[in-house]
């Protein structure tokens, strides 16, 4: 056989072996990739399952959790009980025979798309609500009014002309129905029937900052809507520290929240998630955290049968007037608390205690904010705290909403 033919055959065999090796490697790498995706999906599924267990345990222990908030419980005791509720292997203490009602609030954050999407979803303010709202609005219109209406509304969103219409398309639940059901001896969980019940939430520390950043900015609209809280905030203000284009500093805003226990003196944008979602009256089956939206939303959309129907944007933050979308570019949320007194940060934890426990935020997710706060700074003088409370007491007497509102819903 001529040498040229030998070389040709050798070259041909070599290439066959090379191709076989490549396809074997590619198949193996594909298998590894698929195994990784399956593992990640299972990992996320376990997170959702654990949150559901914690949610059920916390709602069962609601009277005890409220007692911890009402009593002069130390920060350490609050953390300890928090950990016990979240430890799914720890037996719950004896729960007192106490009836817990549902507060009647004027505007629930729970949207009722049961008929159109078999979905009940809580989208509280400052929890990435707008992204969710816009996505499900378009799908809702597509189902209920047709493709033309959906396309027209989608154009409004793109052109930033949809305005407040975004928050009014899908009906909200009526908390009066939940309240009456409880009064009549019925189970409120059976009032709104839907296959999927979702709560979209956020770490309360990060949510408080977001509320301040958005609602305390200068502007006539904000002055009209939130000016009634200004005197209660202003007593804590060091006017040299107010950032440009803001009515008040973040530190003064936080002191107002910490100095006025209970939710009846708060606006819904910084009121508790527990109240906005009627948390223990609706039996949520899926709880998602905004902080983990990049990983959790794809899984959640598949779970509620909307994977190929809607696109929900992830979390963003702000640098001045510019949105920052990439996680790697965002500063840690806890850095915003560096000038807040540590004792104030602890009171914020106590105020949102139910939110942390019921919606599955661990004590580690509390402590990273508390540890970032300022241990050298002192809380305001008691006379300022008293003044802030007096402003809100007089405000409450003029507002019919507060007459129906109880800060604690579990009574003997």
Q: What is the DSSP string of 106-117?
A: SS-SEEEEHHHH
Cβ neighbourhood burial of 84 (10 Å; 0-12, 13-18, 19+):
middle
Q: Does the pLDDT value for residue 14 go beyond 60?
A: no
Our CA dihedral for 147, 153, 159, 165, rounded to 10 degrees, sits at: -170
Asked if residue 347 belongs to a domain, the reply is: yes
Of the listed ranges 14-23, 253-262, 348-357, the least confidently predicted one is 14-23
On the question of pLDDT at 142 being above 70, the answer is yes
Residues 6+ apart with CB under 8 A from 83: 363
pLDDT at residue 10 in the model: 58
The token duo for 189 is 């969980």
CA distance 23 to 386: 74
Q: Which long-range contacts (CB under 8 A, 24 or more apart) does 401-404 make?
A: 401/105, 401/106, 402/264, 404/103, 404/104
5 part of a folded domain? no
Write down the pLDDT at residue 17.
61
Establish if 350 belongs to a structural domain: yes
pLDDT band at 18 (very low <50, low <70, confident <90, very high): low
Which residue did the predictor score with more confidence, 96 or 117?
117
pLDDT tens-digit readout, 66-79: 999 888 899 999 99
Q: Which residue has the tokens 């933050």?
A: 317
Tell me whether residue 19 is in a domain: no
Q: Which residue has the higher pLDDT, 37 or 185?
A: 185
Question: And the tokens for 227?
Answer: 């000016």
Residue 5 has what pLDDT?
A: 59
Question: What's residue 316's pLDDT?
Answer: 47
Q: What is each CA distance from 78 to 5, 54, 55, in whole angstroms?
A: 83, 16, 17
Query: Maximum distance among all alpha carbons in the chain?
Result: 107
Q: Is 399 strand, coil or helix?
A: coil
What pLDDT score was predicted for residue 276?
Answer: 95
pLDDT at 319: 47
- Assess if residue 15 is contained within a domain: no
Other residues' Cβ atoms within 10 Å of the Cβ of residue 163 = 9
How many domains does one find in the chain? 1
What's the domain range around 92? 43-411
Would residue 138 count as lying in a domain? yes
pLDDT at residue 261, as a whole number: 85
Average pLDDT on 89-107 reads 87
User: CB-side exposure of 140: number of CA atoms within 13 Å?
Assistant: 22
- Pair of tokens at residue 66: 């409220």
Contact 265, 396 (CB under 8 A): yes
Residue 250 lies in a domain: yes
Say if residue 410's pLDDT is above 70: yes
Q: State the residue for tokens 């911890």.
A: 68
Q: What is the pLDDT of residues 309-338, one digit of tens each?
A: 888 875 444 444 444 445 455 678 999 999
Split at pLDDT 50, 70, 90, the class of 409 is confident
- Quote the pLDDT of residue 6: 57
Average pLDDT, stretch 219-236? 93
Question: 17 in a domain, yes or no?
Answer: no
């Amino acid at each position: 056989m001529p040498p040229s033919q030998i070389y040709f055959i050798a070259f041909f065999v070599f290439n066959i072996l090379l191709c076989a090796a490549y396809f074997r490697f590619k198949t193996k790498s594909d298998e590894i990739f698929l195994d990784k995706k399956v593992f990640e999906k299972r990992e996320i599924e376990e997170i959702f399952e654990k949150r559901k267990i914690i949610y059920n345990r916390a709602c069962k222990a609601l009277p005890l959790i409220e007692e911890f908030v009402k009593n002069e419980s130390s920060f350490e005791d609050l953390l300890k009980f928090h950990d016990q509720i979240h430890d799914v292997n720890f037996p719950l203490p004896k729960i007192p025979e106490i009836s817990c009602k549902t507060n009647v609030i004027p505007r629930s954050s729970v949207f009722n798309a049961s008929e159109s999407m078999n979905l009940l979803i809580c989208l509280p303010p400052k929890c990435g609500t707008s992204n969710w709202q816009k996505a499900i609005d378009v799908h809702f219109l597509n189902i209920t009014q047709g493709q033309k209406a959906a396309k027209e509304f989608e154009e409004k969103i793109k052109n930033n002309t949809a305005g407040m219409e975004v928050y009014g398309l899908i009906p909200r639940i009526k908390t009066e129905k939940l309240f009456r059901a409880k009064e009549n001896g019925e189970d409120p969980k059976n009032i709104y029937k839907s296959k999927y019940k979702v709560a979209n939430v956020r770490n309360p520390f990060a949510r408080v900052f977001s509320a301040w950043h958005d609602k305390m900015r200068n502007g006539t609209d904000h002055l009209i809507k939130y000016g009634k809280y200004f005197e209660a905030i202003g007593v804590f203000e060091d006017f040299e520290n107010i950032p440009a284009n803001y009515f008040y500093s973040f530190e003064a805003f936080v002191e107002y929240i910490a100095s006025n226990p209970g939710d009846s003196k708060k606006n819904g944008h910084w009121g508790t998630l527990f109240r906005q979602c009627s948390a223990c009256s609706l039996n949520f089956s899926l709880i998602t955290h905004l902080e983990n939206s990049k990983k959790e939303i794809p899984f959640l959309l598949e779970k509620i049968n909307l994977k190929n129907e809607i696109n929900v944007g992830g979390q963003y933050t702000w640098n001045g007037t510019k949105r920052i979308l990439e996680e790697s570019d965002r500063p840690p949320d806890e850095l915003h608390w560096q000038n807040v007194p540590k004792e104030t940060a602890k009171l914020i934890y106590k105020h949102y205690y139910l939110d942390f426990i019921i919606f599955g935020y661990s004590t580690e997710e509390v402590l990273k904010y508390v540890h970032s706060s300022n241990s050298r700074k002192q809380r305001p003088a008691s006379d300022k705290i008293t003044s802030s409370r007096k402003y809100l007491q007089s405000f409450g007497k003029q507002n019919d909403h507060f007459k129906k509102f109880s800060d604690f819903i579990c009574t003997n």
